[in-house]
Amino acid sequence: MARKTANYVCQACGAASTKWAGRCEGCGEWNTLAQESAPESAPKGLGAKKGRRIEFQGLKGSSPHPPRQVSGIKEFDRVTGGGMVAGSALLVGGDPGIGKSTLLMQIAAALSGSLMPAYISGEEAIDQLRLRADRLGVTDANVGLAAATSVRDIASSIGEAGGPDLVIIDSIQTMFVDSIESAPGTVSQVRTSAQELIRLAKNRGFALILVGHVTKDGQIAGPRVLEHMVDTVLYFEGDANHQFRILRAVKNRFGPTDEIGVFEMTGQGLAEVANPSALFLADHEDEVSGSSVFADMEGSRPMLVEIQSLTAPSALGSPRRAVVGWDSGRLAMILAVLEARSGLALSGMDVYLNVAGGLKISEPAADLAVAAALVSSVSGVPVPPGCVVFGEIGLSGEVRAVSQVDARLKEAAKLGFTRAIIPAKTRGKRDQTKTKEGGMEITEISHIEDLLRLFSKQDEKKAKITTAIDPASDKRRHG
């Protein structure tokens, strides 16, 4: 009998090696190889036995739309594309303590009126789950609770007809299959456990929600193939210092991606935020330099967020660049464009940039709003009051058009904004035009220098007002 050998499997990418190494050759990560038992014999080919012949069908045809399981929590239903689909698998990831278990308990309770939900926890006991339900005020909901980690036991309990219509597994990293000789949370266990549960959900037709832990980089722990196996991947984002939580869809086979739902963490659980723009701008002040309002698009939802910047002369050889909620590489590009194309001296300054409210944005349309905040901080001149800004900036300093302009302007007008600085619609137009659209004063710019001219005019206006109030101030200004 051949001696059983051991494999070393990378816990980040799933690559296997016959010997241990400090660095994985597949993904380059350090100290991620863990020992797992290899099968006693290598897998054989298909051999001479023939399989069942499959039938191919044409593209043309009709099939009914899959039924949706609507929870009544509008922000969650929005992210999932109108509700969960029976027989689908959904993966929810997020930092520890962000509120994943709280949200899923609320969803199970909301669906208990029309479905039979089951909440299976591998991390908490039944008493702990009941304490959370009591805090959320959902103890009267008809939700089945269980504390189990064996996939074989779970499959035996939910696989029969008449079982639950919704199964929540919290979390997939705690589940194990007894036929695999490795610890729970390893690549083999996570992949096999998820595969068995997803296969069961497809066969029986119940919705499956898997909770996934995340790594220090914010990615769902375990093999990347886990995200390919499920139908929908949701990330629960937020800052522990803010009460807002963002549920973002990064993959959805039954709905749009990049859709977000906004929640507020309260003492009674997560509350929906129907108008996130008003909350994100609750503390915004117009007459403060270094601040601008950006009209963001998250999926199909327009949102207004405040972008704050602070610049100060640096005493260091390499000035500091600190960014919260935006891409640091894109900030470096905007700083380089402002210095090279408009002559704004920023290379010797510390630059701090913050997206207020704990929201993370990645849209290129934020370039112009970031540039406006930086120019405002350097010049000390506030952005014009009641003004919203959006547009993409190229390396030559040109301001490029962005999508869904009408939706952005409509959201800004709804919240009382009266001005907008946006990219020019056509290349043949003059550099700066002013038009009235929907009661808003629209300023179209085609180059980053046009933005600086707006601030210089504001500076002149400010000087005239100050001189009119106190004539001595003009002497101090020029003398």
Tell me the per-residue pLDDT of 170-227, one tens digit each, with 9 for 90 and over. 989 999 999 988 888 888 899 999 999 999 999 999 999 999 888 766 666 566 778 8
Tell me the per-residue pLDDT of 338-364, one tens digit each, with 9 for 90 and over. 999 988 888 889 999 999 887 888 899
- Reported as type and span, the H/E element at residue 228 is helix 225-229
Query: In the Cβ-directed half-sphere of 373, how many Cα atoms lie within 13 Å?
Result: 27
pLDDT, mean of residues 75-102 = 92
- Angle, to 10 degrees, between the axis of helix 100-111 and the axis of helix 126-136? 70
Residues 304, 266 share a domain: no
Task: Report the candidate in 248, 274, 263 with the shortest Cα–Cα distance to residue 361.
Answer: 248
Q: Which of 4-8, 160-164, 297-301 has the lowest mean pLDDT?
A: 4-8
CA dihedral 468, 470, 474, 475 (to 10 degrees): 140
Structural domain ending residue among the three candidates 244, 259, 274: 274
Is residue 470's pLDDT more than 60?
no
pLDDT, mean of residues 30-43 = 70
- Considering the domain boundaries, does residue 55 fall inside one? no
| Residue-level pLDDT at 41 | 52
Residues 334, 260 share a domain: no
Q: Helices marked H in 281-360 — which ranges?
A: 328-342
Residues above pLDDT 70, as percent of the chain: 86
Cα–Cα distances in Å, from 10 out to 13, 17, 462?
6, 8, 62
Residues 417, 382 share a domain: yes
- Considering the domain boundaries, does residue 62 fall inside one? no
Q: Is 305 within 8 Å of 359 (Cβ atoms)?
A: yes
- Considering the domain boundaries, does residue 134 fall inside one? yes
Residues 286, 174 share a domain: no
Structural domain ending residue among the three candidates 274, 305, 331: 274
Is residue 466's pLDDT more than 50?
no
Is residue 274's pLDDT more than 70?
yes
- Reported as type and span, the H/E element at residue 298 is strand 291-298
Q: Is 428 within 8 Å of 435 (Cβ atoms)?
A: no
Average pLDDT, the chain: 85
Q: Is 254 within 8 Å of 80 (Cβ atoms)?
A: yes
| Residue-level pLDDT at 473 | 39
Q: Is 296 within 8 Å of 363 (Cβ atoms)?
A: yes
Q: What is the DSSP letter of 446?
A: S
Structural domain ending residue among the three candidates 274, 304, 327: 274
| Residue-level pLDDT at 444 | 92
Tokens of 128: 């702990």
Residues 153, 249 share a domain: yes
Residues 375, 253 share a domain: no
Burial of 188 (0-12, 13-18, 19+ CB in 10 A): buried
What CATH number has the domain bearing residue 354? Answer: 3.30.230.10
Name the pLDDT band for 477 (thresholds 50, 70, 90): very low
| Residue-level pLDDT at 196 | 95
CA distance 141 to 119: 12
What CATH number has the domain bearing residue 147? Answer: 3.40.50.300
- Angle, to 10 degrees, between the axis of helix 367-379 and the axis of helix 448-469? 40
pLDDT, mean of residues 365-374 = 95
Name the pLDDT band for 388 (thresholds 50, 70, 90): very high
Collapsing DSSP to helix, strand or coil, 323 comes out as strand
Residues 286, 165 share a domain: no
Residues 388, 301 share a domain: yes
Q: Is 333 within 8 Å of 339 (Cβ atoms)?
A: no
CA distance 230 to 208: 9
- Considering the domain boundaries, does residue 45 fall inside one? no
Q: Is 312 within 8 Å of 321 (Cβ atoms)?
A: no
Residues 27, 79 share a domain: no
Residues 369, 312 share a domain: yes
- Angle, to 10 degrees, between the axis of helix 448-469 and the axis of helix 328-342? 70
Residues 439, 336 share a domain: yes
| Residue-level pLDDT at 25 | 85
- Considering the domain boundaries, does residue 478 fall inside one? no
| Residue-level pLDDT at 362 | 87
pLDDT, mean of residues 398-427 = 88
Residues 87, 230 share a domain: yes
| Residue-level pLDDT at 134 | 95
Cα–Cα distances in Å, from 71 out to 10, 102, 112, 128, 423?
38, 15, 9, 24, 40
Parent domain of 102: 68-274
CA distance 421 to 431: 13
Is residue 234's pLDDT more than 90?
yes
CA distance 410 to 380: 29
Count how many domains the chain has: 3
Cα 370 from chain centroid? 20
Name the pLDDT band for 474 (thresholds 50, 70, 90): very low
Cβ-proximal residues to 114 (8 Å cutoff; 6+ apart), any chain = 69
